[in-house]
Amino acid sequence: MSSENPGYWEPPPKRCCCARRGPQLVLVGLLSTAMWAGMLTLLLLWHWETEKNLKQLGDTAIQNVSHVSKDLQRYQSNQLAQKSQDSELSQNLNRLQENFINVKSQNSEFSQSLNSLQEDLINIRSQGLNEKRTASDSLEKLQEEVAKLWMEMLISKGVACSTCPENWLNFQQKCYYFGKGSKQWIQARFTCSDLEGRLVSIHSQEEQDFLMRHTNKQDSWIGLRDLDVEGEFVWMDGSPVGYSNWNPGEPNNAGQGEDCVMMRGSGQWNDAYCRSYLDAWVCEQLATCEEASAPVASVSPTGPTPKNGS
């Protein structure tokens, strides 16, 4: 109702263009439909693409998982192998340790055996040396015995056996050298050896008297000593003491030990310290016979070795 025209009804304006709006609406509908269709298509496309990607991702994930599981399996089997190797190694180590202990004990046994073998060898060697010495002493004695027998045989046939080297004096079947100059017993002994004789062995009063006549009352070393067994005197020719001419109270092994015998100026014997110096000594050797076809009596150059250097 209008305020300018009260009581007058003006009919509403007639709708115009109703016939023109229909195709517009159709067009709009078509357009929106097409839009929707396009959007749907896009959505579908997007969906497919996403699905495809997802599928690819899934495949890749499956492949990766299978790789990882394979790796894991390989790792596990490696670990198992490593474990068995470890146990083998530790067994080997144990065996080695046992072997080492065995070898060690064997080694100590072996070294003990070696030591006892060495001891045996040393014993056998010294035994051998002793036997050799005894044998050579016996041989010398035998040779001398043979020479003496031969000499006696010749003498019984009327052959003279009294030839001596220059500066040696003959008495019976022996020759004597009366040495002068300060010497210990051992030095006198080696000097006699150098002269192809040995320190004198005295077996009778006659021999003792002969020596007395030529020593000019000088203390002289003679070939008697108890070097091997104390109190057991042995002559350098290997014989034990038969005839003797000890000074009263001798032998007494006085002081630091007396193992070598001297003939005093009086002619009587005394055991004395071997390292004492005397100014005289007497050597002997067998005399030679006129006919020189006899076996040669070789007098020991050194005689049996003394038990020590005194």
The residue among 263, 274, 140 whose CA lies nearest residue 211 is: 263
Write the CA distances from 173 to 159, 212, 264, 277, integer angstroms. 12, 18, 25, 30
Q: Compute the distance between CA of residue 225 and CA of residue 198 in angstroms, rounded to an integer.
A: 13
- Per CB under 6 A, the list member of 208, 215, 270, 285 interacting with ligand MMA is 270
Q: Kindly state whether residue 250 participates in binding ligand MMA, applying the rule CB under 6 A.
A: yes
Which of ligand MMA, Ca ion, none does residue 284 bind to, with CB < 5 to 8 Å depending on kind?
Answer: none
Q: Is 166 helix (H, G, I), strand (E, B) or coil?
A: coil
Strands 198-199 and 260-263: unpaired
CB of 262 to ligand MMA, least distance (A): 8
Q: Kindly state whether residue 252 participates in binding ligand MMA, applying the rule CB under 6 A.
A: yes
x/- mask, ligand MMA, residues 169-208, rule CB under 6 A, reads ----------------------------------------
Residue placing its CB nearer to ligand MMA in the complex, 170 or 268: 268
Residue with tokens 């002997």: 284
Per-residue DSSP letter, 162: -
- Per CB under 6 A, the list member of 68, 103, 124, 254 interacting with ligand MMA is 254
For the beta carbon of residue 233, count every other beta carbon within 10 angstroms. 19
Residue placing its CB nearer to ligand MMA in the complex, 197 or 251: 251
Q: Kindly state whether residue 126 participates in binding ligand MMA, applying the rule CB under 6 A.
A: no
CB of 123 to ligand MMA, least distance (A): 37
CB of 276 to ligand MMA, least distance (A): 8
For the beta carbon of residue 18, count every other beta carbon within 10 angstroms. 8
- Per CB under 6 A, the list member of 207, 258, 259, 284 interacting with ligand MMA is 258
The residues near 36 (Cβ < 8 Å, ≥ 6 apart) are: none
Task: Kindly indicate which of the ranges 79-87, 157-165, 184-192, 258-266 contains the residues binding Ca ion, using the contact rule CB under 5 A.
Answer: 258-266
Cis peptide before 165 (omega within 30 of 0): no
Q: Compute the distance between CA of residue 64 and CA of residue 254 in angstroms, rounded to an integer.
A: 113
Q: Kindly state whether residue 272 participates in binding ligand MMA, applying the rule CB under 6 A.
A: yes
x/- mask, Ca ion, residues 268-287, rule CB under 5 A, reads --xx----------------
Residue placing its CB nearer to ligand MMA in the complex, 95 or 217: 217
Cβ atoms of 201 and 237 within 8 Å: the answer is: yes
Residue placing its CB nearer to ligand MMA in the complex, 150 or 246: 246
Q: What is the b/e burial string over 53-67, where b = at least 16 CB atoms within 10 angstroms of the residue's CB?
A: eeeeeeeeeeeeeee
CB of 273 to Ca ion, least distance (A): 9
Residue placing its CB nearer to ligand MMA in the complex, 258 or 284: 258
Query: Rounded to a whole number, what is the largest CA-CA distance in the chain?
Result: 221
The residue among 291, 288, 298 whose CA lies nearest residue 146 is: 298
The footprint of Ca ion on this chain (CB under 5 A) covers a number of residues equal to 6
Interface residue list for ligand MMA (CB under 6 A): 250, 252, 254, 258, 270, 272
Interface residue list for Ca ion (CB under 5 A): 250, 252, 254, 258, 270-271
